[in-house]
Every structure is written in structure tokens, then in C-alpha cells.
Structure 1
Amino acid sequence: MPSPGDPYDVAVLGAGPAGLAAAVTAAEQGLTVALLDAAQQPGGQYYRHPAPAARATRPDALHHDWRVFAGLRERLDAAEGVTRLYGHHVWSMTREAPGSPWSLHALTGEGDDDDASAPGTGTTVQARAMLLATGSHERHLPFPGWTLPGVVSAGGAQAMLKSGLALPGTRVVVAGSGPLLLAAATSLAAAGADVPEVIEASGYLGYARHPAALAANPGKLTEAARHGAALLRHRVRPRTRSAVTEAHGADRVEAVTVSRLGRDWRPVPGSERRVACDALAVGHGLVPRTELATTLGCATRRAADGTYALELGPLQETSLRGLWAAGETSGVGGAQAALVEGELAALAITARLTGRRPAPARRLRALRRRRDHLRAFADAMAAAHAPGPGWTRWLGDDTEVCRCEEVTAARVREAVADYGARDPRSVKLLTRAGMGWCQGRVCGTAVACLAAAAPDATPAPPDRRLLATPVPLGTLASLTPADPPPAAPDDPSEGHPS
């Protein structure tokens, strides 16, 4: 623990695989660490914990590689230099000048392990170095009927099962694109759901274009084979180059229309068929959460699937000196990549702050090599499952794109065609799309794609937002001169140190 009034050596934002690996590694190197997460327990979205009311006796049965998490948690419990700040929602990061400590402004939750403040209470944590491990959120591509009860995201179905031991329905169609579909379908079927089909909008042959990435990651092929065997055992039928283009029902979903897709994801006329179900789990991949970093001016890169991730140096440092990132903020790559990047970033931070080599050179080389192999596979995965531009043909004019503000596709198209909107911000100003409680996390991809349909437009990079989450005005009013509100971004020209 630092002395009262002194900053921590490093603040780790996010207690998922990347954040846990970074926190325990930094603490074992002798650094003082503040580990912050919005949840009440560590694990992130990947290692979700069943709710106490569920009385789960074997939570490990619902997770892949639970033993890895158990090992990290044991190391975390044994570490003396980690302050665990769960239930902390960080809404801004600031620092007075390059090289000065970071200030993390957060809203605290109720019943935290280290802080029993009332919900919504503002607090500030200071640290000499900062590591972002904020993960990702699901990408949503709307279609007619997607607002019906019983239509959930693929990750949402996983969360219901892991957290509440509940199924979204008894007959669940799993659809969308990306490897999460296989994991979701396998979990749902193993839990007793009837999963008639897994509907993949892309295909799996795209991986064959990246033989080097496949050869360097044989474990990924083994994992895919395991999912395939489980689906075969449960008689789940996979369908590729297809998509759910409409959901039907009155009080809840009762059936879905499945259409064959062309190479650009445009529905093939006359290929429609109907599948009965009482639930639909649909997802089209993940989007890195970079709001805090982009607000500070950190450089981003566009991934093969159209999402934007942070541009990092060889040792996980962003373009802003003193700010590192690990896990899916730098591109969606899975838990294994997150663990490696978290450890690598912690060792780099230790070297910067202490001026000593924290690990043998061969260990650093091994981590970087493993990171690069996993990132190569992640790039192949992103390219294989990237949405094609033809998906917008699923949308009827009356299809809601922004659920929070009830903005239809017709209103977005009008903003583009008649009023010259060329990016999501302009569409937001004209239609309110993205101004609801989710702040565009659900509709952002769809709005960006519709805005990019203009001939002279390209998908826009993430917006810079002064506030990463909704904040009560009272919290802002209570800030003191020692805790200034968000200011203009630091100069990103400082560059990578390595």
C-alpha cells in the first residue's frame, strides 16, 4: 500500500484476464497496485460468477479454463501490494502534465471489498502509471424484429447462463458471426436447451488464407474441434453463409427468417426459410472499448473487421507515454492473448518505474513471441468474420436502429441522403441516434455503416468523449481544484518509448 496521499505505482482498470494478469505480475515485482473494476468480483465478462441466489455448486463447469482464473485469484489473494477497488465505475482519466501522476475519477458502488461508500459517491485514485484492460462489448447489427422479447445477444445468453443459471428459452437459435457463436451454442446445448441451428453469416474457409497463423496456434484448432464435436453430439446443425434477417412474434419471438447470403452479406432473393424458436441469441463479434484512451488522444488502428483498436508499441504502451493497454482494447483476441499482454505490460511498467530489468530477456522474448502469434490468429479471425456491406439490405425503413431513442433506419437514411450526414456524430445531431443510456454502444456500428453508405464517406474512428459513462451533476460539482475535470487531450506526439 502507498503512504496516505502518495499515488499508487500503477492503476489497472479492468479485472478480467488481462487486468488480473497485469495486477498480480506488477505486485509480485514489488509495485503498489490499484485494481479497479465496475463489477463486485474479479473475472470480467469472461470469468463471470453465478449470482449467490443461484447456489451454484460447480461454477467451473460453465467456464473454459476456470483453473487459470483460480490460479490468478490465488496469486491475487497472496499479493500484498494490491488494493482491490471493485464496484468502481471510472468515468474519466486526467493528469496535470506529461509525466505527472494519473487521476482516475470514478463512481463507487455499494458493498465494495475495500470501499463501503454509498452508490454514486465520487472518488479519485492516483497512480504513476496506468494500464487499460477494459475489454470489449458486443457488436449489434439490427434487423426487423430484433427488439422482440426473447431476442438476446450471444454474449447475453452466455451471461444469463453463467450468472443466473438461466436459459433465454427452450428452443434457441444461435446466429450472427464469429467464434462466440460456437461457444454460446455449446454452452446452451449442454445446459439443456434445444439448439436447432447455428447460423454463421461468414464461413470458416477464410481461416485457410492464414496458414502461418493456424500453424502457430494449434490450440485454437483443438478448441474449434472440441466445439464441433459437442455440437455434433447435441445434433446442432451449423449453417454458413446465412443470417437471421427477420424475427417474428407478438409478445415474444416465435420464429425467425433465415436467408442465404452472397459474399457481401447481401440476402439472396428467394432463399428465405422460417425456423420456429422461442429465443434467438445473436451476435456479430466484439468491439474494443477504447473510450477513455481515445478521449486522451491515443492513436487507434482499424482492424480487419472494421472495428477500431488502440495502436500499441512493442511492450503494450499506447501512443501516450505512461499509458499502457492489454487485452481487447488493442484488438479482440481472446483470453489467452489478454493474459499474455497483461503480463507483458506489467513487466514493461516495472522496468519503466524502477529502472531495473523485471524478468530475464528470454522471458520477455517468449512473451512477445506468444503475443505476436496470438495476435496473428486474432487478425485472421477478424478478417474471416468481418461483416460485409450488404447487411444493411436486411433493414426495412421502419426497423429501429437506435433502440434507446427509437430512431428508425428511414430517419438515419434521410439524414445521410437529404441532410448530408457523413459520420455518426452528424447523424446523432440530426436524429438523436446514439444519445440514449447506452451512449451508442448498441447502435453505433449500424449508424456508422449507414452513414458510410454515402459515396464520399468512410467509417469514422471512435468519438472523443469527455465522460466515458453517465455521471451525476453533483459528482461533477463536487470536484476540487486538486481533482480537475477532463481537459484537452495530451499531446499524442510523445510517441512510443520503445
Structure 2
Amino acid sequence: MPEVLIIGAGPAGLAAATAARRAGARVVVLDAAEDVGGQYWRHLPQQRPAGREEVLHHGWERFTGLRRELTGVEIVTGAQVWLAERHDGRPPTVHILVGPADGADRVRRVFDPGALVLATGAYERTLPFPGWDLPGVFTAGAAQALAKSERVAVGRRVLVAGAGPFLLPVASSLIRTGARVVGVLEAGGWSRLGRAWTARPTELLSASHKAGELAGYARDLVRHRVPYRVATGVIAAHGHDRVEEVTVARLDAQWAPVPGTSRRVAVDAVCVGHGFVPRSELAVAAGCQTGPDGTVVVDADCRSSVPGVFAAGEITGIGGADLALAEGTIAGTVAAGAAPTSAQRRDVLVYQRFATRLSDGHGIRPGWAEWLADDTLICRCEEVTAGELRDIAAATGSRGLRSLKLSTRAGLGVCQGRVCGRSVEELLDRTTGGLLDPGRTANRPLAGLVRLGELARTQGDPS
């Protein structure tokens, strides 16, 4: 019986696990969290469940159904994958540490799978702006995670801003924790949004349930009198010990602030999200081919360029939970040696078209760089400012991202560019007239934090 190792227990990983199990494979699922569900179905632990969990999640019945089907699947939670050891012609050896991230006695395990499915999801992207490092400025995803998994409101008077439909469930989650949401600001304008969402309208019929989700969020905003503004964004945050006000402004089609339109809004928290970046460092470490945007290149069966390695979900393209579920089903089925059905393949195509609309309507535009002052922090770990990035790039005359990272220190801190990497690349690409090696911020030989003592140990629990 073939072994399928799946990294990630969000929608893509769970769908892959259940599909591979149905096809007769022995399945192991690894996830760094304490429970399965990923960021999409992030919930209270089983020791202290919510009374009506389904109210806080879309597709909760789908999640509970997938979880029931995990019988016979080995689930390893609290699993930090720190190395994918590359081989020729077969999947990599996967090294993990099991236990609390800050624990000193994590258990080492090693896997040599027959097939590997990468379902590692994405990082949230927040564009930098003056004051974004103030306490009280949250990513939209962090605010939603606190609301879902801890029932904690990040503030009493909260503004939600950025780009994409994800802002709406974030606002709804905040409302349910008792926060007053003073507004939802979408950076894209009606013209661009209209072109993206009205093109080829018959395609939307296959994803008509999305309209029900949208209607639910719209009802929340209307019921609680939350204004929704397009072509508008947060371009600065102000405060002493924490955020007290934000400057918002109208944005043009390229997201540059329109002169004379800025105003201040009093808040005690602001939640900002401008989309997502594929979490592809394990795929890069395994040798998988990636595209210019960092997504893993796969074929119609979710096979990557490395034999025996499959990828599904947000690392193949940001498209939401439905696409992740559809791709996970394909990846798990094929990894187990079976063939997907035509209906399963059709689901992937439907939600890939939906993902294209997301990108067309809400994708980041280059005018955001005009929000920045010279002293705006870009790399928060190494405290590198926008002015320093530009000055060093001009002084060195370098167009190589590796050399510019070494000379500026941008992206070399604890997060290893997970927060700032894409923004650093875009600013340097603009300053240098074109980087020679874009995409290197996803090249992290060690995918997680590991102590030297843990590396030195030889004992473990090989699987």
C-alpha cells in the first residue's frame, strides 16, 4: 500500500488526505497547528469548543465531513517541517520537529514518502505604509484568527482596509466579537472591479454559492451600518504607544493617493490585508519549478516538476477554499495512484476561473509605493527603510537581489522575508530598472526555526 505524505491540514490538505485514503493509500498528514482546519477553518480547540461553531465559518459542514473521513489517517499536529532534503528522481526526505514551537524537547521525525503533497497555503501580504509598525496595526488575517480561535476583538473601534473579498469575512468576524467596525476600504475602484466581475457572466453560474456568501457579509455590514468604500486605502497610521488615528485617501487606478483627498479617522485598531503570497519555500527546497509570482507550476493532475511531488491550494495560485478543496482532491487521488473523475477536473477549472477574477479585480497595483516616505520601515526585522533600500541600490549599482539583500539586510531577519520579501523585491525592481534574479526571497534552505542542539541530536523517531 503506497504511502502519501501531506504537508498542511487546511482545505487542500484535508481534501488530499481523504481522497488518497479513499484510493487505498496509507496517509500521513503534517501540520504545525494544534488541530486540523488550517487558517480557513481555524477554530477553538476541542477542549473548549464553541456552542455554535458553524456560525463563524463558511462550509463548516464540509469541514466536519472531511474530519470524520480521516479515520485511518495519521495526523501529526505541532509538526514543524524544517527541511526537505532533495533527491534525484524521487520525492524529498522530509525532516520535522514535533512539539511546541518554543519547546526545548521537540521530537525529531523523518519521512521518506512514496508521494508528497504540498498543501502549505499562503502568507498574508500587507503593503507597508508610514506607521504600519505601531501596536494596534494588525494584518486582516491575524485579526480574524484572534476572533475565530480566541474570540478576541483586536480593538473597540476598528477599520478594515486593503484589497479583496477577504476583507468582508474579517469585518464579519470582528463584528461578532463585539468590535465596532467603522469602515471597510477596498483599494480597487468600481471600474476595475466591474470589468473583472461582469466579464463572461455565465462562468459565475458554476460558482453561484459564492453569491450567498457575499450576501451574508453584505447583510452584516448593512445591519451594523458599516460603510464600504472602494478606491480608498489607509496610507498612514498615527499614534504614540499605539495607533490612535489613520490617514485614509482616495486612490487612483494604480493605487496612488489622489492629492487633496486624505482625511484622518480615529481608531484604536486597523486591520490591513492586500492579498496573499504563496508559502512555497518547501516547494523551492524540493526543487519544484515556480512561476514569476512564486506559485508552484503544476499540470492538470497537480504534479509538480519533481517526480512524486504534488502541490495543491494557494501555493499553485491564490484562489480561495473552493479551489483548494478541488485541487486537493485531484492531488490526493493521483498521488495514491488513482484517476480523478471528469467532475473533479471540472471543479478545478470552475474555481480557477474564479481565481482569475480575483486577481483581475483586486491584484496589487504599483502606485502603492507612493504611500512611502523615506523613513518608512520596509523590513521590520532588520529595520531597513524605503530610503535606505533606494540609496543602497543606487550607490552599489547592483541589480542582483542576493547582493542587494546582503548589502541592505532587507529580508535577512527572523521572518526571512516572509512579511517584507515581495515588497522589497518590487521596490528594488523599480529602483534598479529590473532585478536579475527576482523570487529569491522564497529560497530558504531551512524552512523553519531550529536550534543548533536539535540539529546536533542523532536520536529520533524515524518513520
TM-score, length of structure 1 as denominator length? 0.86
The equivalent residue for 2:226 is: 236
Matched, 1:391 2:368: yes
Give the aligned partner of residue 128 of structure 1. 114
Letter matched to residue 408 of structure 1: T
Are positions 1:464 and 2:449 aligned together?
Answer: no
Aligned match for 1:267, one of 257, 263, 268: 257
Secondary structure of 1:310's partner?
coil
* Secondary structure at the counterpart of residue 184 of structure 2: strand
Where 1:186 maps in the other structure, the secondary structure is helix
What RMSD in Å do the two structures reach over aligned CA positions? 2.2
Residue segments in structure 1 that go unaligned for 5+ positions in a row: 3-7, 112-116, 352-357, 484-498
How far, CA to CA, are the matches of 1:178 and 1:370 in structure 2? Answer: 22
Aligned partner of residue 237 in structure 2, secondary structure: strand
The one-letter amino acid of 2:110's match is: T
- Contact kept? 1:107, 1:119, Cα under 8 Å: no
1:85 partnered with 2:76: yes
- Which amino acid is 1:349 matched to? A
Structure 2 distance, partners of 1:473, 1:121, is: 14
How far apart are 1:53 and its partner, in Å? Answer: 8.3
How far residue 479 of structure 1 moved from its aligned partner, in angstroms, is: 5.6
1:491 corresponds to which residue?
none
**Structure-2 separation of matches of 1:54 and 1:259:** 42
User: Which residue does the alignment assign to 1:107?
Assistant: 97
Alignment identity in percent?
45
Structure-1 separation of matches of 2:212 and 2:349: 19
**What do residues 384-426 of structure 1 show as CA deviations (whole Å, max 9, x unaligned)?**
1111111011111111111111111111111222222435433
Distance 1:332 1:118 in 2: 35
Instruction: After TM superposition, give the deviation of residue 335 of structure 1 in Å.
Output: 1.0
Cα drift, residue 319 of structure 1: 1.2
In the TM superposition, what whole-angstrom CA distance separates every residue of 1:191-243 from its partner, at most 9, and x where no partner exists? 32111110111133232245354343222233223222221111110111111
Aligned to 1:375: 352
Asked if residue 194 in structure 1 is aligned to residue 195 in structure 2, the reply is no
Aligned residues: 454
Give the letter for the 1:129 counterpart.
A
Give the distance between the partners of 1:171 and 1:53, measured in 2 at CA. Answer: 31
1:216-365 paired onto structure 2 within 5 Å: 216-302=206-292, 307-351=293-337, 358=338, 364-365=341-342
Equivalent residue runs for 1:422-461 within 5 Å: 422=399, 424-454=401-431, 456-457=433-434, 460-461=438-439
- Taking the aligned partners of 1:196 and 1:148, their CA distance within structure 2 comes to 19
The answer on 1:152 being equivalent to 2:141 is no
Cα distance in 1, alignment partners of residues 188 and 372 from structure 2: 19
**Would the alpha carbon gap of residues 148 and 210 (structure 1) be closer, same or farther in structure 2, given more than 3 Å must change?**
farther
Give the unaligned 5+ runs of structure 2: none
Query: Which amino acid is the alignment partner of residue 288 of structure 1?
Result: P
1:475, distance to aligned residue in structure 2 (A): 3.1
C-alpha deviation, 1:98, in angstroms: 1.1
Secondary structure of 2:453 counterpart = helix
The AA in structure 2 aligned to 1:67 is: E
The question of whether the paired residues in 2 share the 8 Å contact of 1:213 and 1:380 is answered with: no
Of residues 54, 61, 69, the one that matches 1:75 is 69
Shift in Å, 1:110: 4.5
Match of 1:60 in 2: 54
Q: For residues 212 and 372 of structure 2, what CA distance do their matches in structure 1 show?
A: 37
Q: Does structure 2 conserve the Cα–Cα contact (< 8 Å) formed by 1:423 and 1:457?
A: no
1:419-449 deviation digits (Å, cap 9, x = unpaired):
2243543332112111111111111121011
Structure 2 CA distance, aligned partners of 1:75 and 1:126?
A: 24
